[in-house]
Amino acid sequence: MINIDTSLSSVKKNDISVQQQQTHFSNFLEKYDGYRRLYTDGSKTENGAGCAFVELEENMSFLQILSPLSSVLTTELYAILEAVKYTKTITFSQPQKFLLMSDSLSGLTAIENQGDNPLLFDISAQLQNSPHNIIMTWIPGHSGIIGKFKTEF
């Protein structure tokens, strides 16, 4: 089952201050108390492309250089895919709860709509075969959210 929460997208970051955004985000996270948080990001510039994710609580980070021909959407989807794969390497006697946070609303929408991109099939398969409860959520980019800042190139 694919669980995606885009409720934060209803608040436009240009309509509220950075401090209000951070307060709104903190209130949002209360709903996911007990979840391990992974922040994902993808990036493309004229110099190249890459993806990353971090789990601050475990001081874990991942960075991968991708083909310079990759689209921005591809970099974002790879970041999500690698974060999902990472969760599957974690073994406990009980399933864990993970919150994967991405600033790519288009990436999360594509995952939810199950398009024909091979990356989408891979992400879907990884999620469906995971022993863990994984929720993906959209968060605003460039808004001072600590974990998000750590993944940005």
Q: Which residues pair with 102 in a beta bridge?
A: 138
55, 56, 104, 116 from 111: Cα distances, Å: 21, 25, 11, 10
- The verdict on pTM exceeding 0.85 is yes
Q: What DSSP state is assigned to residue 94?
A: S
Quick: pLDDT tens for 85-144. 999 998 888 889 999 999 999 999 999 998 788 999 999 999 999 999 999 999 887 555
- Please provide the size of the chain in residues: 153
